[in-house]
Structure 1
Amino acid sequence: MTVVDTNLNAGVLASLPAALRNDAALTSLLGTVDGTVAVPEVARAVAIAALAELSGRRPIVVACPTSTLASQLADDLTVLVPADEVALFPAWETLPFERVSPSVETMGRRLEVLWRLQDESRTPRIVVASMRALLQQLGPDTPSVSPVIVRKGDTLDPDELLRALVNGGYRREELVEHRGEVAKRGAIIDVFPSTADAPIRIDLWGDEVDRLTTFSVHDQRSDVDLDEAVIFPARELVLSDEVRDRARSLVASEPWGREQWERLGEGALFDGMESWLPWLTA
Structure 2
Amino acid sequence: MARSTNWRIASRHFCSSEELPLTEFLVESPFQPSGDQPAAIAKLAEGINGGLRYQTLEGITGSGKTATIAWLIEQVQRPALILEPNKSLAAQLASELREMMPTNRVEFFVSYYDYYQPEAYIPSSDTYIEKDSSINEEIDRLRHAATSALLTRHDTIVVASVSCIYGLGNPIEYKNHMLLLEVGMTIDQRQLLRRFVDMQYHRNDLIVERGSFRVRGDTIEIQPAYDQEAIRLSLFGDEIDAITFFNPLTMETRGAVTEVTLFAATHYASSSETLMSAMHRIRAELALRLEELEREGKLLEAQRLRSRTE
Q: Same fold (TM over 0.5)?
A: yes
Partner residue of 2:253? 223
Q: Is the 8 A contact 1:183 1:189 kept in 2?
A: yes
Q: Is the 8 A contact 1:39 1:47 kept in 2?
A: no
CA gap 1:175/1:92 in 2 versus in 1, 3 angstroms: same
Residues 20-75 of structure 1 show CA distances to partners (whole Å, capped at 9, x for unaligned) of 3333764575343222221234322112112213335x222211011221122111
Q: Is the 8 A contact 2:244 2:256 kept in 1?
A: yes
Q: Secondary structure at the match of 1:213?
A: strand
Q: For 1:48-59, what aligned pairs fall within 5 Å after superposition? A: 48-56=69-77, 58-59=78-79
CA gap 1:38/1:222 in 2 versus in 1, 3 angstroms: closer
Partner residue of 2:222? 191
Whole-angstrom CA distance in 1 between matches of 2:256 and 2:33: 36
Q: Is the 8 A contact 1:91 1:136 kept in 2?
A: no
Partner residue of 1:237? 268
> What are structure 2's unaligned runs of at least 5 residues?
1-27, 119-130, 291-303
CA gap 1:11/1:169 in 2 versus in 1, 3 angstroms: same
CA gap 1:162/1:28 in 2 versus in 1, 3 angstroms: same
What is the CA-CA distance between 1:252 and the residue it aligns to?
4.2
Q: Secondary structure at the match of 2:215?
A: strand
Identity %: 26
> What are structure 1's unaligned runs of at least 5 residues?
1-9, 263-282
CA gap 1:18/1:180 in 2 versus in 1, 3 angstroms: farther
CA gap 1:218/1:55 in 2 versus in 1, 3 angstroms: closer
CA gap 1:48/1:73 in 2 versus in 1, 3 angstroms: same
Aligned residues: 247
Counterpart check, 1:253 vs 2:253? no
Q: Is the 8 A contact 2:109 2:146 kept in 1?
A: yes
CA gap 1:117/1:62 in 2 versus in 1, 3 angstroms: same
Q: Secondary structure at the match of 1:149?
A: strand
Counterpart check, 1:162 vs 2:193? yes
What is the CA-CA distance between 1:17 and the residue it aligns to?
8.3
TM-score (norm 2): 0.66
Q: Secondary structure at the match of 2:81?
A: strand
**Larger Rg, first or second structure (1 or 2):** 2
